[in-house]
Structure 1
Amino acid sequence: MTEVLHRSDNALLRKLGYKSEFQREFSLIETICFSLSIMAVSSGVTTGYSFPLNSGGHFAMIWGWFIPCFFIMCVAASMAELASSMPTSAGLYYFSAKMASTKHSALASWITGWANITGQITLVCSIGYTCAEMITSGITMATDGAVTLGSGPTFGILVAIFATQGIICSTATRTLARINLLSVILTSEDLWFMGTLIAAVVGLFVCARKNRVSAKVAFTEFENSTGWSNNVWAFIMAFTSPMWSLTGYDSAAHISEETAGAARAAPIAIVVSVAATEIFGWIYYMAASFATTSVDEILQTKLTLPMGQVFLNTLGKKGALALWFLIALYMCGCSQGVDASRVIFAFSRDNALPGSRWWKKIDKRTQTPVNAVWLVMAASAVCGVLSFSAAAFNSLVSASVIGLYISYVTPVYFRITSGRKKFVPGPFNLGRWSTPIGITAIVWVAFMVVMLLFPASQSTTAETMNYAIVLVMAVFVFASLSWVLSARKWFTGPISNIDSSSESTSYDEKQDHSVL
């Protein structure tokens, strides 16, 4: 059965224009695990807690997560529909090329590809940076504040993280699949702990009432600590947390050439992993809101990550440290590194990156794009120089979300406009709901991109400004100049790498998903 499934997958891939170059070692459950390990809600909420803490306190923790979840699911569902129809590692920029008109196909693909690469690399960096911050915060917690590491040591830890993750990401596909299954098991235990944290915290608060806030406070008390005078705008800035945590689910599309039954597995993994992350994340934030006895006290903590102070106040030093180091952010970074390397590989396969001949090479021993892996780690380390800025985390988070979500909705836009009649549904499709869901996703992302370019405070300095605009504009200017001066003359979008001219490589030809 597995062999038949692989043959069907490879036949569909050839119809999309590519020969099979990977081993299909990811099953449905392992594909879901891969997406879950990238989003790693326990890590995302732990490190992103500072956004709602500043942007409305208790009210923002609860509703600043809940409200965006509906709109993010619209984006995920629209992407899942495309991934089911066109399961290839090229993913988003391939979708844009095939859904756009013939005249704009190459430009649509170019924009989507560069936006996705920007988001992928800055997401690897932001995950690595928060992992380094968790380590430095843990050291501060363990030494009762006696040791506080600055930006220099944090950058050194960050480089060490990228070096070790590069080694792991360079291993064979079978090994990666097993590692990610183990990772999500560990992460799920953490998620299970967070899921039961509310009951544990409530029980603790019965014994020590001074450590508990009321339900009214936990769900409704609003405290604006951003510096922005408009409370509505301040609250909207709390949306940064779920937008950042709920990224990377396009990974299921990028590893589809390594997945068995990809036309079904990829979209299911996208929808299931996003839904699970949304549910667990909301439970975690409810627990955090009940456990936050004083927003002002947490804001004044000496710890790099404020959630560490909540753990200390609620669980004590030993309990806080035990929980702190159970959060598997390191493996989350490994999964994202694999995802980003597949994007680099796919875009290079179509000769769209400088030095493409190096980045599209498949290592004969591991059957993985090792060169692409190390390009991702090197570029992430360069972005990590921002760690010397006080606003590093905000800037990296904003840049990664902007890049990724622009690449998420660009093919959706073409799907509901020029691609409406061209689209060939896969096993997963939205039917008549495709257009309204797609429009909702596009409008939401357009609004969030604007919001994410604003600094965290109304009054800002060179150290606290939001450098996302610098990162995003640098790539935008480079990609735009490359297009105008050169790429428009030779880049045609996805290029078939099948030698035989007798093979059908057109998406417009009816695709057969029945065997999948």
Structure 2
Amino acid sequence: MSAVENKTAEDGPDEVLTGDERADARLNELGYKAEFRREMSFLGVVCISFTAIGILTGMSSAYQAGLFSGGPVGLFWGWNIVSVFMLLIALALAEICSAYPTMGGLYFWVCRLKPDVPSLGFFTGWIYSFAMVFTGTSGNLSTALYLASLIEVSAGKTLTRLEIAAMAWAVNILSGIINTVGTKAISGVSTFNLWWTLGGTFVLVITLLVKAPHRNDAAFVFTDFENFTGWGNKGFVFLLGLLQAVYTLEGCETAAQVAEEAHRAEILAPIAIVASIVGSWFIGLIYMLALLFSIQSIESVQKTSYAIPIAQIFYDAAGKRLACLCIFVVGLAQFLAAITAFTASSRLFYALARDDAFPFKGRFMYLNRFQAPVYGVWLSVLVGCIISAAYIGSAVAFGAILSSAAIAVMLSYNMPIICRVFWPQSMDTKGPFSLGRWSRLVNAISMLFTFFVCILFVLPTATPVNQLNMNYAVVAIGGLALIVAVVWFSWGRFHFHGPVSTIGKDKI
């Protein structure tokens, strides 16, 4: 029996326990011994999810997708529509997180909700883990692309794909080093990124609105429709533009990955999940409006030679020097956001290994003196560097791999939500964060929207379709699913039978 359990048994009611002891007691009830020190505050947990969403970075990196598929009207109205649905998804996930505050997150929730189908939890865990690795890799490459754009704008030198890939490898390794230092470092990075994002948004908004040679009117911002896709159906083009907002707002669930390192995780983690979406919605709206009012020419952005198209908007609106400042602000935020993806993936590898769902259990459960699961961290770095190498040969192939990450994240969101919709009694206990009688409706709407988005993500985004504009995301996500299926049938089904208690010897 653990020290927490002894204290509960001896002292009686939960009121005698401190917040951390109560959180550890709940973890014990779920079958796990507390292995991590609870060093993360509420602000730290909120910042983890907020940083993972990366509102400045996601919107900046994917801005052209919405600009070319619907234009201002699609960007503005699409952002608000998608934000409502992503908030519903966050509420659904937060309710489950409150009941099961463990670092396995989506994976553990599925295992707990459908223990009779262990393959469902296995697939969720593996696909989501590598989705986080791909997300971190995408963020680190984007950081390299911001650096390349900074060099292009400031010095007029165009970098090769090999040079950009080399910078991406360096950024991957630096992300690994920071994650190796552990919880306090990640919490500090995330907290810094919150203030950097708030301050950076202020700087970007003021710079764009003050320096833009021409400011667009409200009619342009709220009603102008643009279509560079080749598709003739305006409704379909508008829907394609929604993907920019979905891509930007993914990441709120990252708070669950540090639940075992947070104070009062059953309360703070679910609140952080919801708060990160609400905050990102508001900040993203302000930033988007500044971009729409200050953009000088959509055609200029469409024809840009810069590594990141948003750099053209900055250059046209603010000139060379201030454009460099804007690129630096977003680029640093991008790097800080990418770090947390490897934080999530390393914790997921730890959680999977703890339950015999990942090979080399002893290694991936090893914590260094900074309380970091270092083998998971450096596996993420290794895979990231390998994938980044694909960019040298083909930017299209690399883009397909990383587009599959967005689909994999949404599919992973949907697994516990599906369980809640079709088996509403499967959650045997409720946490302090509960949706009450609205729970099933929120989950049902979230499930339908997630299915819709996953279909949208694999459709061709331009026509006529050729080898350069083909959406290969379906091939990439299919390849990942095939790999996981092979691992399950050749290894997983013989080793994984559900979460394994680290207190006793029985399966949870």
The normalised TM-score by structure 2 is 0.92
Map 1:27-426 to 2 at 5 A: 27-100=41-114, 102-104=115-117, 106-143=118-155, 146-194=156-204, 196-197=205-206, 201-202=208-209, 204=211, 208=213, 211-327=214-330, 328-363=333-368, 365-388=369-392, 389-391=394-396, 394-420=399-425, 422-426=427-431
Higher helix fraction: Structure 1 or Structure 2? 2
What is the number of residues matched between the two proteins? 491
**Contact 1:98 1:419 (C-alpha < 8 Å) held by counterparts:** no
**Contact 1:50 1:305 (C-alpha < 8 Å) held by counterparts:** no
Q: Which moved more, 1:464-473 or 1:335-344?
A: 464-473
Question: In the aligned structure 2, how far is the partner of 1:266 from the partner of 1:375?
Answer: 26
Cα drift, residue 244 of structure 1: 1.4
Pick 1 or 2: higher relative contact order, CA cutoff 8 A, min separation 6: 1
Map 1:418-497 to 2 at 5 A: 418-420=423-425, 422-497=427-502
**Contact 2:216 2:295 (C-alpha < 8 Å) held by counterparts:** yes
Question: In the aligned structure 2, how far is the partner of 1:352 from the partner of 1:459?
Answer: 43
**Contact 2:78 2:242 (C-alpha < 8 Å) held by counterparts:** yes
- SS of the aligned residue for 1:444 comes to helix
Deviations 1:336-373 (A, max 9, x none): 2111111111111112123333222222x112101110
Question: In the aligned structure 1, how far is the partner of 2:377 from the partner of 2:72?
Answer: 40
Cα drift, residue 397 of structure 1: 4.5
Structure 2, unaligned runs of 5 or more: 1-14
- SS of the aligned residue for 1:391 comes to helix
Which residue identity does 1:297 align to in structure 2? Answer: S
Tell me: CA distance 1:485–1:133, structure 2 relative to 1, closer, same or farther (3 Å): same
* Match 2:23 to one of 9, 13, 28: 9
Question: In the aligned structure 2, how far is the partner of 1:242 from the partner of 1:394?
Answer: 17
**Contact 1:129 1:387 (C-alpha < 8 Å) held by counterparts:** no
**Contact 1:158 1:384 (C-alpha < 8 Å) held by counterparts:** yes
Which residue identity does 1:372 align to in structure 2? Answer: G
- SS of the aligned residue for 1:212 comes to coil
- SS of the aligned residue for 1:379 comes to helix
- SS of the aligned residue for 1:478 comes to helix
**Contact 2:104 2:257 (C-alpha < 8 Å) held by counterparts:** yes
Counterpart in the other structure of 1:513: none
Tell me: CA distance 1:122–1:322, structure 2 relative to 1, closer, same or farther (3 Å): same
Question: In the aligned structure 1, how far is the partner of 2:398 from the partner of 2:242?
Answer: 15
- SS of the aligned residue for 2:478 comes to helix
**Contact 1:60 1:238 (C-alpha < 8 Å) held by counterparts:** yes
Question: In the aligned structure 2, how far is the partner of 1:451 from the partner of 1:134?
Answer: 27
Question: In the aligned structure 2, how far is the partner of 1:306 from the partner of 1:164?
Answer: 25
Deviations 1:476-508 (A, max 9, x none): 11222333344234311211111377xxx85xx
Structure 1, unaligned runs of 5 or more: 507-516
**Contact 1:142 1:321 (C-alpha < 8 Å) held by counterparts:** yes
Question: In the aligned structure 2, how far is the partner of 1:489 from the partner of 1:397?
Answer: 31
Which residue identity does 1:133 align to in structure 2? Answer: L
**Contact 2:113 2:416 (C-alpha < 8 Å) held by counterparts:** yes
Which residue identity does 1:94 align to in structure 2? Answer: F
Cα drift, residue 401 of structure 1: 1.3
Tell me: CA distance 1:483–1:79, structure 2 relative to 1, closer, same or farther (3 Å): same
Cα drift, residue 216 of structure 1: 0.5
Question: In the aligned structure 2, how far is the partner of 1:434 from the partner of 1:292?
Answer: 41
Deviations 1:25-60 (A, max 9, x none): 111111101111121211111111111121122222
Question: In the aligned structure 1, how far is the partner of 2:233 from the partner of 2:130?
Answer: 31
Cα drift, residue 138 of structure 1: 0.9
**Contact 2:211 2:318 (C-alpha < 8 Å) held by counterparts:** no
The normalised TM-score by structure 1 is 0.91
Tell me: CA distance 1:173–1:422, structure 2 relative to 1, closer, same or farther (3 Å): closer
- SS of the aligned residue for 2:32 comes to coil
Tell me: CA distance 1:98–1:361, structure 2 relative to 1, closer, same or farther (3 Å): same
Cα drift, residue 247 of structure 1: 1.5
Cα drift, residue 419 of structure 1: 4.2
